[in-house]
A and B are shown apart, each in its own frame.
Chain A
Amino acid sequence: MGYVLDVSGVHRIYESAAGYTHALRGVSLTVSRGEFLCVMGPSGSGKSTLMNILGCLDRPTSGTYRLEGIDVSELDDDELAELRALRLGFVFQSFNLLPRATVMRNVQLPLIYSNVAPSERVERALRALRSVSLPAEYYDHRSNELSGGQMQRVAIARALVNDPALILADEPTGNLDSATSEMVLKTFGRLRDEGKTIVLITHDPEVSQWADRTVHIRDGKLLTDEEERELVQSMSAARPGLGAGRGHT
């Protein structure tokens, strides 16, 4: 069985009026099925750029990216859209729910674009909402009536609903307080236990504790094992007790 995700030698150069920005400089990365990977790095290090490429929202300037063995660079826009509809789930920092739509409608949205029949849609949405443990009384609420933590759980349910090969989360706890963050992260942990593949992007070291494995990104490059050990040691020295993440093997 191959990797869910296989990135090799990926560069991404942004062209703008201000000039060129080399946001990714040769990133290579693999993720196995059922793995919960955390990509950590400071602001501006290229995390979101990587996430956009992994989510087939953007294409690498060079290098290859295979999702479940499919070379994504060979696909056209519609094929990428189909891939996103069927194989990917997104969780964003700012939730990105349709504010006036109900929780049920929001969760069903990806299924609308993959032509799933309405009855099956409802069934799948209910299953997804149950697995993020949102109380059933909220299912008919408009999403703008929920708290931040509830919204993010709805967003996770939406990311789950099409049973994706990969769930991508970009700073999912960035807008949440620590208690709510923990609840959301627990949800991710439970999904990992159910066998989902998760890539979570964060700049917060506490978040990485929940992951199976953490990679660090600096200035568009992933740190080597050597550099990473140094980094972990320096961080432990500075803030004792943060060295090893939960489930880090």
Chain B
Amino acid sequence: MFYRQAGIRYTSYPAERQLWPLGIERVLMGLILALALIAPALLSPLLLSSYLLPWVIWSIAALGLNLLMGGAGQIHLGYAAVMAIGAYSATHAARAGLPFELSLLVAGLASAVIGVIFGAAALRIRGLYLAIATLAMQYIVDFAIGHIPAISGGTQATVATPTPRILGIPVEGPVGGYYIALVVCIVVTLFMLNLRRTSFGRALAAIREKDYAAEILGISAFRYKLMAFWTSSFIGGVAGAILVFCYYRSVSPEQFHLETSVQLVAMVIVGGLGSVLGTFLGAALILLAPLALSALVASLASSGLPIGSDLRAHLPLVLYGALIVGFLIAEPLGLAKLYDNARKYLLVWPFRHARS
């Protein structure tokens, strides 16, 4: 009964275009935001640092990837490499004495520049070929980081990240890291939500749906695809930097291999292409699923089933694969669509007729 459109009247176009038209949804969003802000006081340090913090950070990254995949319709199989570029450039910038805020900017710019170069190379191609080109990016970046000691600090090396300082004040511990990640996450989330109601977002969607029709409306497909790669890579770079500064507290090549890229694609597809809420749900599911799985495997192993450590190590990947395939078959629009169905159901409850 709270989900009602009846009685809602708009007196201006901006009011009609607000992010959450239903009062109940605005209340919910406010509640979630408040909970997110006081989470460090509610959750145990363990829950905060090993569940909530990675969820927030991976959501930032997945939102960046969703801008490209859901927003502009371009696949990217090397998004972890984009994050790696940001992580390494921010680390080196900060170690060279740059303030943390500027290091984040450096991370975003470095990833955006390199990301856009690969994007430009990939512009003339689509679908499968684009997938392979971005895969090549993953391997080239992996190779470059692994083989240039100036970046990686030597083979198999781990470079510690300095403590982030905001306006010169050191931000230590998981709580500080959480708030940094949360602020960035809120900014990126608002950007993604606004895409739906600005000419920039519509131009990306137009290119995704029908590039020739977009062209004849004055939208240069070339330019907007590059802009999508630029923006998405910028977000990815910042997310990578936050990941190593606030979560891992050190940076090493194996944090950003192909598995991570696959994981990110899984978050976007399972969550729902182009959906902001879905991205958060997808990130949560992909982060939680392996934990639940390894708990299950551990209990099976202890009950006597012969499960090798090799199999154990690869089970999460198998699970991501299964989730991607499962969602593509059963619900291509992802968790976001499941939520949408529930919302539509509530809108017309107790009647059963919901459109689409």
Q: Do A and B come from one complex?
A: no
